[in-house]
Amino acid sequence: MMENWINNINKKKDFLTVSLRYLESDSISREIYLTEKSAEQIIWYNAESKVGKFKEHFLRRGNEIKNIKIPIKNCY
């Protein structure tokens, strides 16, 4: 139960931090829209290759990710 409260308070704290940064910035004269969405995990790999040859990198890294049982929703 305590862990739930702590997580809930941390989420609210994050939202308030973003709101405060906006108010303290010079952006107040512009319209900025904040949308809430669920958190995502991003896996980033660095690769160098000739133009048109990145397919091999995507396939190899995709197989590595599958082997450790991480579901992939998008890849680009």
Query: For 9-63, what is each residue's pLDDT tens digit?
Result: 999 998 899 888 878 887 667 776 767 777 777 888 888 888 888 888 888 988 9
Place of tokens 């931090």: 17
Q: For residue 70, which phi and psi values (nearest 5 degrees)?
A: -105, 120
| pTM (global) more than 0.85 | no
What angle (nearest 5°) sits at the alpha carbon of residue 50, between those of residues 49 and 53? 75
